[in-house]
Amino acid sequence: RISSDAVVSAMGIAKFLAVLVLVSHFIACTWFSLGCLYGKESPRGWVGRFRANAAEESMAFSYTTSLHWALTQFTPASMEVVPRNSAERG
C-alpha cells in the first residue's frame, strides 16, 4: 500500500496522461480513417489535400498529423487540418 501523498498524486497524473494518450490515439486513428474514405490521394478528404501540400508522405507523418489534430481538440489550439466532406464533419 502506498502511503506517500506525492507518489499517489504522481500516479494519478500518470494515469490521467495515459488515458489522454490512449483516447487521443483512438481519435487520431478514426480521424485518419475518415480522411481516407475517398482514398489517400483524393482531394475530397483531408488526407489527400494535406498530402498534396506536404513534402513528406510517410505513414508516420500522417499519424503524427492525425494525433496532433486529435490533441488540439482537447485544447484551444488550432490546426490546419479541417473536415473537408460530410463524413469527416460527422
Q: pLDDT category, 88, cuts 50, 70, 90? A: low
Phi-psi region of 12 (alpha: psi -120 to 50; beta: other; left: phi over 0): alpha
Q: pLDDT category, 70, cuts 50, 70, 90? A: confident
pLDDT of residue 52: 61
Task: Give me the mean pLDDT over the 51-78 stretch.
Answer: 75
Quick one: cell of 16?
490521467
Mean per-residue pLDDT over the chain, rounded: 78
Most confident of the ranges 3-7, 18-22, 55-59, 65-69: 18-22
